[in-house]
Structure 1
Amino acid sequence: MTDALTTETPDAEKLASLKQLTLVTYILYALSVFTGLTAIVAIIINYVKREDAAGTVYESHFTWQIRTFWWSLLWAVIGWVLVWVLVGIPILIAAGIWAIYRLVKGFIYWNDGKPMDVK
């Protein structure tokens, strides 16, 4: 009976730790709107802890966050390059709204304990 308890506890602890870490990364991405640097910290965490999240509900959240980061970065660069011809401003606004949508949706799914649909 002791073995059953010890084998279940690490899984529960691992899930609780991953849940907290996933929240931290969502917060870091949200703070990046003001600082920018926190997104770099969050993407590093995502890549370093991605293997630990494999096979859990949080694996999809890590994938969601990683894709959000890279696509946001791409559209931000395109927007900044095109800002000189005035096309970049709408691109930057759209990219910002899209990133906020992704963060809010991810947080809601995290709060409900649901995986992200990242097919």
Structure 2
Amino acid sequence: MAETTTDDSLATFGWVSYVLHLIVAVAAVVPGAQASITLLLIALVIDLVKRGDAAGTWQESHYRWRLRSVLWCGALYLLTSWLWLLFFIPGWIAWTLISLWFLYRILLGMVRMNRRQAMDV
């Protein structure tokens, strides 16, 4: 019974994190939409705090998936930020592609979480 409760608790935190990531990801793709960086930070804190509890469960890969998605996305934004300074259109294209990639990863994670499947990391 305790394992089921822990699994349900991890799933609840996982879903909250995925929804917060989804809001940020959609806002990054939709022109004019702005999501607060606070939402992303809340999701990151949830993932960092709860990932230890998820160790050894099928949900562990989801916590790792979300953390890696944000870290890679942030690194790619930083690496391409100079394009905004020099050339508007290439910067916009790069950030749009990064944002779409982030949205794809979040949606894929949500689908697999709904199926109670681990992520293939």
Instruction: Please state which band the TM-score falls in when normalised by the shorter chain.
Output: 0.7 to 0.9
Whichever of the two has the greater Rg, that structure is 1
- 1:90 & 1:74 partners in 2: Cα distance? 16
Q: Which structure carries more helix by proportion?
A: 1
Count matched residues. Answer: 110
Q: Which AA in structure 1 matches 2:2?
A: P
Secondary structure at the counterpart of residue 52 of structure 1: coil
1:21 aligns with 2:22: no
Question: Is there any run of 5+ residues in structure 1 with no aligned partner, and where?
Answer: 1-8
1:37 Cα deviation from its structure 2 partner: 1.8
The normalised TM-score by structure 1 is 0.87
- 1:36 & 1:29 partners in 2: Cα distance? 10
Match of 1:93 among 93, 96, 103: 96
- 1:22 & 1:76 partners in 2: Cα distance? 25
Match in the other structure for 1:40: 41
- 2:83 & 2:37 partners in 1: Cα distance? 20
Aligned-residue RMSD, C-alpha: 1.1
Conservation of the 8 A alpha-carbon contact between 1:28 and 1:38: yes
1:81 Cα deviation from its structure 2 partner: 2.6
Question: Is there any run of 5+ residues in structure 2 with no aligned partner, and where?
Answer: 28-34
- 2:85 & 2:19 partners in 1: Cα distance? 32
Match in the other structure for 2:30: none
User: After the TM superposition, which parts of structure 1 deviate over 6 Å for at least 4 consecutive aligned residues?
Assistant: none
The normalised TM-score by structure 2 is 0.85
Higher relative contact order (CA 8 A, sep 6+): 2
Conservation of the 8 A alpha-carbon contact between 1:50 and 1:59: yes
- 2:77 & 2:98 partners in 1: Cα distance? 7
